[in-house]
Structure 1
Amino acid sequence: MQDENDFEDGKKIFEELWEDSIPIVSKENKDDFKTLVLEHTWLEAIPPPYLMYIRVLYEYFKATDDYIKTPKEITRDRFNQFFDVSYQVDAIRDCVAKVKKHSGCIVADVVGLEKSIIASAIAANLGKRTIIITPPHLKT
Structure 2
Amino acid sequence: MTTGTKIRLLREQKGWGQDVLAAKLSISQPAISKLESDQNKLSWDNAIKLGELFEVDPEYFFDSKVNNYISHNQKVNQLFNSDYNDNNIEFIKGLYEAQIRSKDTLLEERLERIVELKKQVEELKADLEGFKTL
TM-score band, normalised by shorter chain: under 0.3
TM-score calculated relative to the size of structure 2 = 0.27
* Structure with the largest fraction of helix: 2
> TM-score, normalized by length of structure 1?
0.26
Q: Which has the higher strand share?
A: 2
